[in-house]
C-alpha cells in the first residue's frame, strides 16, 4: 500500500482526514487527527481500545448506533470491536490513543 506523507508528517488517510503518529510504545500509540469540515470516517470497528480528546472543533460521532456530539475539550473512550465513525461538523483536531498499538499507524522506518 502506498501512502503519501506530507513534509509535516501528516498522511491523508481518507478524503479530508489527516493523521500523524505522535508517539508510541510497547502497548499504546498516540495520533493527532485533523479533519476538514464535513470530512467523514465511515463506520468501522477494530480490536483496539480508542480514547480521544477534541483539541478544537466539533465532531458528530456514531458509536454503536448512537449519535454523540464531541466539541472542544470533550473526551471519549471506545472499547475494542464497537462499530463507530465520525463526521467533522467544522474543521476539527483531535488527539487519540490506541491500545494495543495499531501496527498500521506506525511510521515508516
pLDDT digits 0-9 by tens, 78-89? 999 999 999 999
pLDDT of 73 above 80: yes
CA distance 75 to 78: 10
Whole-model pTM: value is: 0.89
pLDDT digits (tens, 9 = 90+) for 20-72: 998 989 999 999 999 999 999 999 999 999 999 999 999 999 999 999 999 99
Give CATH superfamily name and number for 32-103.
Answer: Jelly Rolls (2.60.120.10)
Rounded to 5°, angle at Cα 26 from 4 and 59:
55
All structural domains of the chain with their residue ranges: 32-103
pLDDT-derived band at 9, boundaries 50, 70, 90: confident
| pLDDT (0 to 100) of residue 3 | 46
Amino acid at each position: 500500500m502506498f501512502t503519501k506523507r506530507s513534509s509535516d508528517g501528516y498522511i491523508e488517510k481518507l478524503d479530508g482526514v489527516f493523521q500523524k503518529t505522535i508517539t508510541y510504545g510497547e502497548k499504546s500509540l498516540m495520533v493527532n487527527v485533523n479533519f476538514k469540515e464535513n470530512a467523514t470516517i465511515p463506520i468501522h470497528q477494530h480490536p483496539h481500545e480508542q480514547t480521544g480528546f477534541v483539541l478544537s472543533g466539533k465532531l458528530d460521532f456514531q458509536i454503536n448506533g448512537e449519535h454523540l456530539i464531541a466539541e472542544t475539550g470533550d473526551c471519549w473512550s471506545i472499547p475494542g470491536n464497537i462499530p463507530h465513525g465520525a463526521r467533522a461538523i467544522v474543521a476539527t483536531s483531535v488527539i487519540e490513543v490506541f491500545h494495543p498499538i495499531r501496527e498500521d499507524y506506525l511510521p515508516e522506518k
